[in-house]
Structure 1
Amino acid sequence: MEIEREINPHFEDYLFDWDYKFYFLVGGYGSSKSYNTAFKIILKLLDEKRTALVVREVYDTIRDSCFSLFDEIITEMELDDRIRCVVSPMQIRFPNGSKIIFKGMDKPAKLKSINNVSIVWIEECSEVKYAGFKELLGRLRHPFLKLHMILTTNPVSKNNWCYKHFFIDKKKKLFILDDKELYKKRTIIINNTYYHHSLADDNYFLPKSYIEQLDDLKTFDIDLYRIARRGQFGVNGRKVLPQFERRPHYEVLDMMHKIKKPLHKVGMDFGFETSYNAIVRLVIDDENKILYIYWQYYKNQMTDDKTAIEIAEFKNTQELIRADSAEPKTIKFYQQEGFNMRGAKKFPGSRLQNTKKVKRFKKIICSEDCQDVIDELEDLTYAIDKDGELIEDEFATDPHTFSAIWYGLDGYEVSDLKEHKYDDSVYEKGKGVANKTSDPYKRGGTVF
């Protein structure tokens, strides 16, 4: 069938090239590599009867990313009357018998029942484990169709398996391609692999304001600037939150008062003997992507009944506390005591996802009254494995306030530019009216 559609010139050759087994796409944020990969697969499956497998490390992240992207493109192409996007189980079915199936590497047993897959797309391949990549290679098989595997990613550390496998592994003395050559030539073909590099500048449909936002990363996180704006691999710095800064409490309150649409969040991590009950009150400046931390509670060796007495103010304010869902009995206790508390969503890989979420803030500004937050986060560094390589979801210390921040941010996505219409944390439990507290910032400020 004939399809007319405007495309980004930098992706034109890639869209129609099916001569190679591997397609490795690396690039900065907003470069449209994922969009064009989804479009490429749709065109192929319309032309030939095939089964394509789309994979991410965590299955729960697929619906709002890959699946919705396919759905969006199919609707834009006005093919939604012919191509069916089935939600449960997630599948896309074509009129010629082609289909796209979606799986997560956190549920490996589900891969064993897959047969005759001739195309595999691994989205955010740097998050998939190397063993998972090799497992998927074994699932890529068909009696007569040519086989293809597409890998897309934002660049990460040069210690990641995808860099070592497709570029350079110094330890194994393996040299395939110098990534600097790829940044210069933009597309390179070596052996049976098609390499493609892209930046936000290659996406003609991207607003100028988004590119300016990426340019601004250079002022507060040079590592993220390298990844998001330049689309280049590198050696990540050891510091987890280089944009973290402390300010006097009165300055923090003054800055928060100037936010046009502040989002109020509260997170709680549970602990007892050597770990801590940690609670943080947060305010998000969504427009400027700044996270404020202005109140904390931090104690250990406290039973739940004693803690409930010390944090009784939350019963009065009815602020929503998002807490560690691994402790359902504890959450139930606080709910019965009258606290507005819910478990934050946890899933395999959530530590890494939550860490990345916090790192996306341009600034993290903490009140000097929150000394335990400062002690844990100001110089927080990544853990190092036996080979001296960074472990991106583990830290040199156990930062309980960091976990509390993760839980408090549950349901909020820093990279999401959609407008937040309301803030559920300052709504009364079970009611549709805002809490009557005249100044939410005056609730906190004391370190217990």
Structure 2
Amino acid sequence: MIEKEVNPHFEDFLFDWSTKFQFLVGGYGSSKSYHIALKLILKLLEEKRTALVVREVYETIRESCFSLLEEIITDLGLENQIKCVVSPMQIRFPNGSKIIFKGMDKPAKLKSINNISIIWLEECSEIKYAGFKELLGRLRHPSLKLHMILSTNPVSKDNWTYKHFFKDEQNNRFILDDEELYEKRTIITNDTYYHHSTADDNLFLPESYIEQLDELKDYDPDLYRIARKGHFGVNGVKVLPQFEVAPHDEVMEAIRRLPNPIKRVGMDFGFETSYNAIIRMVVDPNKQYLYIYWEYYKNKMTDDQTAEEIKEFKETGELIRADSAEPKTIQFYKQNGFNMRAAKKFQGSRLQYTRKVKRFKKIICSDQCKNTIRELKNLTYKKDKNDKIIPDEFNIDPHTLSAIWYGLDDYEVSDLKAPLERYRKMLSRRR
């Protein structure tokens, strides 16, 4: 008989082995790692199993997962029965169960392990998706039920953990709405036990620690969302905070009502890992709104195949402004009856084009433009080693943004700073 006081929000989790996957996400100090470690110990005392504990970097395991398991074993008074061996790092149980530890930075060592029936991926968002799939292949046993436990603090929605266990918009795959998990706290679906926790669920935390987390709201909202709320989201500064999505019919009706719409088409070229992206858009010069209502987005297409798929542009005669880095491709389309010309490119054009797009008061995108939404809704700036924004580099390569750049070539959006500068000059002349 083992008696141990635990946090109430984790009581059901400790003894629930009904699913293959158990995905725990939460804020800092929520005690998810502690309860996973306790759950493992209880299970391996009950059944003879081999469990594998994994982090991305092997050297980080000694002071995290191994130390935590060792602490719990001592706290339970089982240190004379369960042996914690430092070299090689291993925990051995009296019934023959054992816990072994590996790092994904040394993948060759994974090939030698056999009969693993439980795997714990600590900080799973740091592990690459290919590593996750490799570990799935190592999870096998001739008779025992298999389990994989994944724990993480929430990161960007671009991370594979979010795409695999919640939503992958690019591949039109939906598993669970993360907002539903935040509300219900635990959900079982698709052979996965989902568990959400925050510092409020850890009754053993000092109040001062929670106060520190609360203070993040004032000076680091991104970290506050992750550490205090335990929510997935957008990490970093959004490039286009004015970007919004609207039903297609509403977008088309708004365009129809414009007194003097400016229609534009832009195209970015791609083939293997990048994409051919074409965007149809309309500018409302009065309100300084940009409407995006149609997209084409494909890769691994030869020019003749793409030309066949977009032949409607030959019929409409619409001018396509395209990437000037591909003069041969532009010439091909021209020779095949397309009205296409190269958009200007120059030193610093990426930054200038980005600033131009940012000047729109609103960017309203049709909900039918799935790839545009995926790329631009949560697009953020890259940062340098000093944590400063790089104004012309982004967290992904947004092909639809490039198409918008080219489509807006030679169109200028009013700069709010310009009237201010004129006003200052007028005042200086009067003086």
TM-score, structure 1 length as denominator? Answer: 0.55
Q: How many residues align?
A: 255
Question: Does 2:54 match 1:43?
Answer: no
Structure with higher helix content: 2
Q: CA shift at 1:383, angstroms?
A: 4.5
Q: List per-residue Cα deviations over 1:184-232 (Å, max 9, x = no partner).
A: 0000011200000000000011111110010011111000000000000
For 1:87, the equivalent position in structure 2 comes to 86
> Which amino acid in the other structure matches residue 234 of structure 1?
G
Q: List per-residue Cα deviations over 1:424-444 (Å, max 9, x = no partner).
A: xxxxxxxxxxxxxxxxxxxxx
Match of 1:386 among 397, 421, 427: 397
For 1:147, the equivalent position in structure 2 comes to 146
3-state DSSP class of the match of 1:103? strand
Q: Map 1:397-408 onto structure 2 (within 5 A).
A: none
Q: 1:75 to 1:166 in 2, by over 3 A?
A: same
For 1:25, the equivalent position in structure 2 comes to 24
Q: Map 1:181-200 onto structure 2 (within 5 A).
A: 181-200=180-199
Question: For residues 37 and 201 of structure 1, what CA distance do their matches in structure 2 show?
Answer: 18
For 2:231, the equivalent position in structure 1 comes to 232
For 1:157, the equivalent position in structure 2 comes to 156
Q: List per-residue Cα deviations over 1:58-98 (Å, max 9, x = no partner).
A: 00110000000000000100100110000011000000000
Over the matched positions of the two proteins, sequence identity in percent amounts to: 74
Question: Does 2:56 match 1:57?
Answer: yes
Q: List per-residue Cα deviations over 1:139-184 (Å, max 9, x = no partner).
A: 0000000000000000000000000000000111101100000000
Unaligned runs of 5+ in 2: 239-383, 401-431
Question: For residues 99 and 178 of structure 1, what CA distance do their matches in structure 2 show?
Answer: 36
Q: 1:57 to 1:10 in 2, by over 3 A?
A: same
Unaligned runs of 5+ in 1: 240-373, 390-448
3-state DSSP class of the match of 2:229? coil
Q: CA shift at 1:376, angstroms?
A: 5.8
Q: List per-residue Cα deviations over 1:322-366 (Å, max 9, x = no partner).
A: xxxxxxxxxxxxxxxxxxxxxxxxxxxxxxxxxxxxxxxxxxxxx
Question: Does 2:132 match 1:133?
Answer: yes
3-state DSSP class of the match of 2:114? coil
For 2:172, the equivalent position in structure 1 comes to 173
For 2:77, the equivalent position in structure 1 comes to 78
Question: For residues 54 and 82 of structure 1, what CA distance do their matches in structure 2 show?
Answer: 20
Q: Map 1:28-427 onto structure 2 (within 5 A).
A: 28-238=27-237, 377-380=387-390, 383-387=394-398
Question: For residues 101 and 162 of structure 2, what CA distance do their matches in structure 1 show?
Answer: 25
Q: List per-residue Cα deviations over 1:19-38 (Å, max 9, x = no partner).
A: 11000000000000000000
3-state DSSP class of the match of 1:112? helix
Q: CA shift at 1:238, angstroms?
A: 3.4
Question: For residues 376 and 86 of structure 1, what CA distance do their matches in structure 2 show?
Answer: 40
Q: List per-residue Cα deviations over 1:344-395 (Å, max 9, x = no partner).
A: xxxxxxxxxxxxxxxxxxxxxxxxxxxxxx9965445774333579xxxxxx
Q: CA shift at 1:237, angstroms?
A: 1.8
Question: Does 2:27 match 1:16?
Answer: no
Question: For residues 62 and 106 of structure 2, what CA distance do their matches in structure 1 show?
Answer: 15
3-state DSSP class of the match of 1:164? helix
Question: For residues 53 and 385 of structure 2, what CA distance do their matches in structure 1 show?
Answer: 42
Question: For residues 41 and 121 of structure 1, what CA distance do their matches in structure 2 show?
Answer: 9
Q: List per-residue Cα deviations over 1:104-133 (Å, max 9, x = no partner).
A: 000000000000000000000000000000
Question: For residues 235 and 86 of structure 1, what CA distance do their matches in structure 2 show?
Answer: 41
Q: CA shift at 1:235, angstroms?
A: 1.2
Question: For residues 204 and 175 of structure 1, what CA distance do their matches in structure 2 show?
Answer: 34
Q: 1:83 to 1:128 in 2, by over 3 A?
A: same
> Which amino acid in the other structure matches residue 395 of structure 2?
I
Question: For residues 222 and 191 of structure 2, what CA distance do their matches in structure 1 show?
Answer: 31
Question: For residues 200 and 52 of structure 1, what CA distance do their matches in structure 2 show?
Answer: 28
> Which amino acid in the other structure matches residue 129 of structure 2?
Y
> Which amino acid in the other structure matches residue 29 of structure 1?
Y
> Which amino acid in the other structure matches residue 181 of structure 1?
E
Q: 1:182 to 1:376 in 2, by over 3 A?
A: closer
Mark the structure with the bigger radius of gyration: 2
Runs (4+) of structure 1 exceeding 2 A deviation are: 374-389
3-state DSSP class of the match of 2:74? helix
State the superposition RMSD in angstroms: 2.0
Q: 1:216 to 1:41 in 2, by over 3 A?
A: same
Question: For residues 205 and 187 of structure 1, what CA distance do their matches in structure 2 show?
Answer: 21
Q: 1:207 to 1:109 in 2, by over 3 A?
A: same
3-state DSSP class of the match of 1:74? helix
For 1:356, the equivalent position in structure 2 comes to none
Question: For residues 375 and 41 of structure 1, what CA distance do their matches in structure 2 show?
Answer: 38
Q: 1:378 to 1:141 in 2, by over 3 A?
A: closer
